[in-house]
């Protein structure tokens, strides 16, 4: 088996007396879509924040391709190859879709401490940004201000921005949150298209999406991983059914 | 740029004014004041509208530049080749040092910390007994350029101020359009997004703050020479507030709004003061109304018409 791309080792985080991340150990293998599911308050978003560097864990280690990134700042982790999207879509509303992606391209290509030439007139940057938009199916919306895009388009744009950083691992925090049924289908199809090219750690509420996309699933309950396995294994796991799936159906 | 004509028209008006009769001491003094404050306001608009850094201590940079002129004058140094870089450098260093602390905060905290640093500079200036203390310091003459008294010439000084203002505006516009400026603009709207593409906003903001400080130093150098007098009032927080108001009146979203805001502010202030000794009673409400009803400021109004 290949070495894991991402490895969380006994990660812990307490808020007062509440253990939000309670000894999480988890591996994401290269090329897989690994979903983290769990009931509300299970600590899924905190876990994503710890991996992306927005929340510092109290204990434990985070390894990206064997390199300890536990103490790196969030921007430094992005430069190390870890891109993320947010549960509440995060774009620059006043920028066009293209400039949103161009910002990510310029962060990756050369210094951003350039003061003289107009950034909008860099052909290579714009071409790379356009390619990322095309990959996500937003090429015809390139000139629209991001704030004027529909919810689903903003989601896709955020994904294009993440892809433009050329990540080794994509962290997706509930990419389907707030999307209508049609948008959900489109986004699932989009994520399925990305599958061959990217390794993805996905936190998602939508079971239909998780079972359609994920290679493996980890179930998080009260900050602990109670099971990890293939979709079939997780579906058949009685403990998971009791803790989570049953609850959903009730 | 559809509205590029508007700032150029304002600058051209300043350029033409002395040629069409407005070349007396009174008019040129007034215009110099408008251009110098306009320069400081453009730098502040760069911070506020570009980087999202609402500073209430920008006058301190003006004051540091002005006091550099006064202090060097007191020690017999009046050559522009020394005084000008000293004024700009001192103001930039002041901005760098205070910005290093202030930029760690945001929102109201940033406003209060810049205000606090401004007041520290104010009280420091007030206690400089050797340079006039509270009473201020009268310059023996304007800064010399290569030993000549070029700046004493009314027209030369007018066009020097105009050149400095134009350079400030063009430089700030260039910076905002650059890669550096793109990061600033993105971080103003969504700092989280900037971090999520792998860039920390802090150093970008700090450099922007120091650049605005340097421009403030240049404006302070010119202000000291225009009035041939430097006093703590140059760094008062009221002056910072006025600059911020000029930016908002002119339109914080556009750099040249600073030029327009400063021009209108200076003209209105002067005209009202001639009408009535209670002019501030009229001026205050006018400012409030302008903020309430001029969204996008005067520049926004011009851009919509144009």
Name the nearest CA neighbour of B246 among B28, B96, B36.
B36
Q: Under a CB-based contact definition with an 8 Å cutoff, are residues B174 and A61 in contact?
A: no
Q: Is the predicted pLDDT of residue A1 greater than 60, yes or no? A: no
| pLDDT band, very low/low/confident/very high, at B190 (cuts 50, 70, 90) | very high
Contacts of B112 (CB under 8 A, 6+ apart): B56
Give the integer Cα–Cα distance in Å for B237 and B244: 10
Closest partner CB to B180 (pick from A83, A114, A162): A114
Q: What is the pLDDT of residues A57-70, one digit of tens each?
A: 999 999 999 999 99
pLDDT digits (tens, 9 = 90+) for B91-133: 999 999 999 999 999 989 999 999 999 999 999 999 999 999 9
Residue B178 above 60 pLDDT? yes
- Residues of chain B with pLDDT > 90, as a percent, come to 83
Give the pLDDT band of residue A249 (cuts 50, 70, 90). very low
- Asked if residue B274 is part of any domain, the answer here is no
Lowest mean pLDDT among A158-162, A240-244, B49-53: A240-244
pLDDT of residue A241: 80
Residue of A nearest to B253 (CA): A94
Tell me the pTM.
0.93
The pLDDT value given to residue A244: 67
- Asked if B20 is an interface residue toward chain A (Cβ–Cβ < 8 A), one would say no
Q: What is the pLDDT of residues A19-60, one digit of tens each?
A: 999 999 999 999 999 999 988 888 999 999 999 999 999 999
Measured CA to CA, the distance from residue A198 to residue B299 in angstroms comes to: 47
How do residues B240-290 score in pLDDT, each as one tens digit?
A: 999 999 999 999 889 999 999 999 999 999 999 898 888 888 888 888 888
> Would strands A216-221 and A33-37 be described as parallel, antiparallel, or unpaired?
parallel
Quote the DSSP letter at residue B150: G
Whether B1 has a pLDDT exceeding 50, the answer reads no
* Contact criterion met (CB below 8 Å) for A42 and A48: no
Whether A161 and A100 have beta carbons less than 8 Å apart is answered as: yes
% of chain A surpassing 90 pLDDT: 72
Q: Where does residue B93 rank: exposed (0-12), middle (13-18), buried (19+ CB within 10 A)? A: middle
Q: Which domains, and CATH codes, for chain A?
A: 1-81+167-250 (3.40.50.300), 93-165 (no CATH)
Is B181 touching A (CB cutoff 8 A)? yes
Residue of B nearest to A104 (CA): B197
Region for A15 from its dihedrals, namely left if φ exceeds 0, alpha if ψ lies in -120 to 50, beta otherwise: beta
- B205 in a structural domain: yes
* Mean pLDDT, rounded, of chain A: 91
Measured between beta carbons, the chain B residues lying within 8 angstroms of A74 are 195-196
Residue B99 resides in a domain: yes
Domain that residue B105 falls in = 26-236
Query: What is the complex's ipTM, to 2 decimals?
Result: 0.91
Give the C-alpha separation, B162 to B94, whole Å.
25
B190 touches chain A (CB under 8 A): yes
Q: Which of A82, A85, A92 to mutate to test the interface with B (most CBs of B within 10 A)?
A: A92
- Taking alpha carbons only, the member of B228, B234, B226 closest to residue B65 is B234
Alpha helices by DSSP H, listed for chain A, are 44-52, 74-79, 97-108, 123-136, 151-164, 181-194, 207-213, 231-236, 238-240, 246-249
> Cα angle at B22 between B229 and B147, to 5 degrees?
45
Q: How far is CA B273 from CA B38, B122, B267, B280, B291, in A?
A: 20, 26, 10, 8, 21
Instruction: Please answer yes or no on whether B182 and A92 come within 8 Å at the CB atom.
Output: no
Contact predicate B46/B40, CB 8 Å: no
Average pLDDT over residues B221-234: 96
| pLDDT, tens only, B136-148 | 999 989 999 988 9
| Count of structural domains, chain B | 1
- State the best of B197, B204, B205 to mutate against chain A, taking most chain A CBs within 10 Å: B197
Q: Is B63 part of any domain?
A: yes
Q: Which of B 71-110 lie inside 8 A of A, CB atoms? A: none
B49-69 b/e (C-beta count within 10 Å ≥ 16 → b): bbbbbbbbbbbbbbbbbbbbb
Q: How confident is the model over B69-90, as a mean pLDDT?
A: 96
For the segment A82-87, the average pLDDT, to the nearest whole number, is 94
Does B185 fall in a domain? yes
What is the percent of chain A where pLDDT is above 70? Answer: 96
Q: Specify whether the CB–CB gap between A11 and A62 falls below 8 A.
A: yes
Rounded mean pLDDT, B292-304: 84
- B169 within some domain: yes
Q: Which residues of B touch A164 (CB under 8 A)?
A: 197
The chain-wide mean pLDDT, for chain B, equals 94
């Amino acid at each position: 088996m290949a070495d894991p791309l991402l490895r969380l080792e006994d990660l812990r985080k307490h808020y007062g007396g509440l253990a939000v991340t309670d000894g999480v150990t988890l591996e994401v293998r290269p090329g897989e879509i690994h979903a983290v599911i769990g009931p509300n308050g299970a600590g899924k978003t905190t876990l994503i924040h710890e991996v992306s560097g927005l929340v510092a864990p109290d204990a434990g280690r985070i390894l990206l391709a064997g390199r300890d990134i536990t103490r790196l700042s969030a921007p430094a982790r992005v430069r190390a190859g870890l891109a993320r999207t947010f549960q509440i879509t995060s774009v620059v509303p006043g920028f066009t879709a293209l400039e949103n992606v161009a910002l990510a391209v310029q962060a990756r290509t050369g210094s951003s401490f350039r003061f003289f030439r107009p950034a909008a007139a860099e052909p290579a940057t714009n071409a790379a940004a356009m390619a990322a938009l095309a990959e996500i199916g937003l090429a015809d919306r390139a000139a629209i201000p991001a704030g004027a895009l529909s919810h689903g388009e903003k989601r896709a744009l955020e994904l294009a921005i993440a892809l433009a950083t050329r990540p080794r691992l994509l962290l997706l925090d509930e990419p389907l949150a707030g999307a209508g049924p049609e948008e959900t289908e489109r986004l699932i199809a989009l994520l399925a298209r990305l599958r061959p090219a990217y390794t993805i750690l996905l936190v998602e509420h939508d079971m239909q999406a998780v079972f359609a996309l994920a290679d493996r699933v980890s179930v998080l309950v009260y900050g602990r991983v109670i099971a990890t396995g293939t979709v079939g294994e997780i579906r058949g796991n009685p403990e998971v059914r009791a803790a989570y799936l049953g609850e959903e159906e009730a | 740029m559809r509205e590029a004509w508007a700032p150029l028209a304002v600058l051209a008006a300043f350029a033409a004014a002395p040629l069409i009769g407005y070349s007396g001491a009174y008019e040129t003094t007034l215009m110099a004041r408008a251009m110098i404050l306009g320069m400081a306001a453009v730098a502040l608009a760069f911070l506020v509208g570009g980087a999202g850094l609402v500073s209430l201590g920008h006058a301190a940079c003006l004051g540091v530049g002005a006091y550099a002129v006064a202090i060097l004058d007191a020690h017999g140094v009046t050559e522009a080749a020394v005084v000008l870089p000293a004024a700009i450098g001192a103001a930039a260093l002041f901005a760098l040092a205070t910005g290093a602390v202030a930029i760690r905060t945001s929102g109201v905290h940033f406003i209060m910390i810049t205000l606090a640093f401004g007041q520290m500079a104010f009280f420091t200036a007030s206690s400089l007994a050797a340079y006039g203390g509270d009473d201020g310091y009268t310059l023996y003459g304007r800064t010399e350029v290569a030993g000549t008294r070029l700046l004493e010439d009314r027209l030369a000084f007018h066009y020097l101020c105009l050149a400095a203002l134009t350079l400030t505006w063009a430089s700030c516009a260039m910076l905002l359009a650059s890669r550096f400026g793109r990061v600033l603009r993105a971080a103003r709207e969504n700092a989280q997004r900037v971090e999520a593409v792998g860039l920390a906003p802090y150093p970008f903001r700090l450099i922007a703050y120091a650049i605005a400080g340097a421009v403030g130093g240049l404006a302070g150098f010119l202000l000291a020479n225009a009035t041939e007098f430097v006093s703590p009032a140059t760094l008062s927080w009221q002056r910072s507030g006025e600059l911020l108001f000029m930016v908002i009146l002119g339109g914080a979203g556009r750099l040249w709004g600073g030029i327009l805001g400063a021009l209108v502010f200076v003209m209105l202030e002067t005209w009202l003061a001639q009408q009535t000794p209670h002019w501030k009673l009229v001026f205050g409400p006018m400012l409030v109304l302008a903020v309430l009803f001029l969204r996008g400021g005067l520049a926004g109004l011009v851009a919509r018409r144009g």
